[in-house]
Amino acid sequence: MSVRKLKPITPGQRFRVVNNFDEITTNKPEKSLTVGISKSGGRNNTGKMTMRYTGGGHKQKYRIIDFKRNKFDVEATVKTVEYDPNRTAFIALLEYADGEKRYIIAPTGIKVDQKVISSETAEPNVGNAMKLKNIPLGTVISCIELKPGQGGIMARSAGSSAQLTSRDKKYVIIKLPSGESRMVLGECMAMIGAVSNHDHMLTVSGKAGRSRWLGRRPRTRPVVMNPVDHPMGGGEGKSSGGHPRSRNGMPSKGYKTRKKNKASNRHIISKRK
């Protein structure tokens, strides 16, 4: 995977850094696995804006992703590696031996015509899905479940990965991308390998219009608002309104918001950085 800088033949391309999309093999999604997706523009069912700075964006189709990998012991062939407008990672189209097709999050290094499988006795090869209790220690994993059968919810974005470090009875201990080490049940599934498109973080948008294409509206800085609109508003000129805080008064810039008596605290061995 690589990125390239464009020649500045327009002002919007002067600082633009784009993805080369070397891994992408087709630009047409599998029709049976795409559905229409409607946008709310940040409004709820009464038309009230509940999420600011949201709206617009290019029309998109949603790709149905198999996060559960629950088709066990049936070998699948990778047919394509595709772009997905709904996420930063690439996706891969699998065709199983019985003819069924499913999308999965594409791991780094997956190739067309490669064989992958979801099984307890599989080899720990890139793209295979296994239970955590069967994965060798030190393996790089992604798309990790927190509850058996829930589907992968951790380490799913572009370039993300976790590492399985040790075992403790029915639990395994994994180090997450945030730096947190936590216990997860060994019955949970995970995919072998890191998530694809690790160069996503190197891309540069280049112009405000690209944010509008992605459905992001301009964000107003709190310090330029009036006191009625934000705790940090008001004052003459560029004077700020005291300590950085959210619209409802919650301090930011390092203030811990996690509850001290949260049930999952007992599973966390070392906190994130």
C-alpha distances in Å from residue 11, one per residue of 6, 109, 182: 11, 35, 47
What average pLDDT is seen over the chain?
94
pLDDT of residue 18: 95
Query: 239 pLDDT band (50/70/90 cuts)?
Result: confident
pLDDT digits (tens, 9 = 90+) for 218-228: 999 998 999 99
Contact between 204 and 16 under an 8 Å Cβ cutoff? The reply is yes
- Six token digits for residue 235: 């004052």
Answer positive or negative: Cα dihedral of 137, 142, 148, 153.
Answer: positive
pLDDT of residue 90: 97
Query: 17 pLDDT band (50/70/90 cuts)?
Result: very high
- Domain residue extents for the chain: 3-201, 223-273
Query: 1 pLDDT band (50/70/90 cuts)?
Result: low
Q: Could you tell me the CATH superfamily of domain 223-273?
A: Ribosomal protein L2, domain 3 (4.10.950.10)
Nearest Cα residue to 185 out of 167, 197, 199: 167
Contact between 158 and 196 under an 8 Å Cβ cutoff? The reply is yes
pLDDT of residue 236: 87
With a cut of 70, say whether residue 14 has pLDDT above it.
yes
Provide the whole-model pTM: 0.91
The architecture that CATH gives domain 3-201 is: Beta Barrel (2.40)
Contact between 75 and 236 under an 8 Å Cβ cutoff? The reply is no
Q: How far is CA 58 from the centre of its chain?
A: 19
| Segment 141-159 mean pLDDT | 96
pLDDT digits (tens, 9 = 90+) for 246-264: 999 999 998 988 899 999 9
pLDDT of residue 53: 95
| Segment 122-146 mean pLDDT | 96
With a cut of 90, say whether residue 41 has pLDDT above it.
yes
Buried b (16+ CB within 10 A) or exposed e, 182-217: bbbbbebbbbbbbbbbebbeebebbbeeebeeebbe
Nearest Cα residue to 231 out of 254, 261, 252: 252
- Residue 269, SS3 per DSSP: strand
pLDDT digits (tens, 9 = 90+) for 179-209: 999 999 999 999 999 999 999 999 999 999 9
Burial of 11: CB neighbours in 10 Å, binned 0-12, 13-18, 19+: exposed
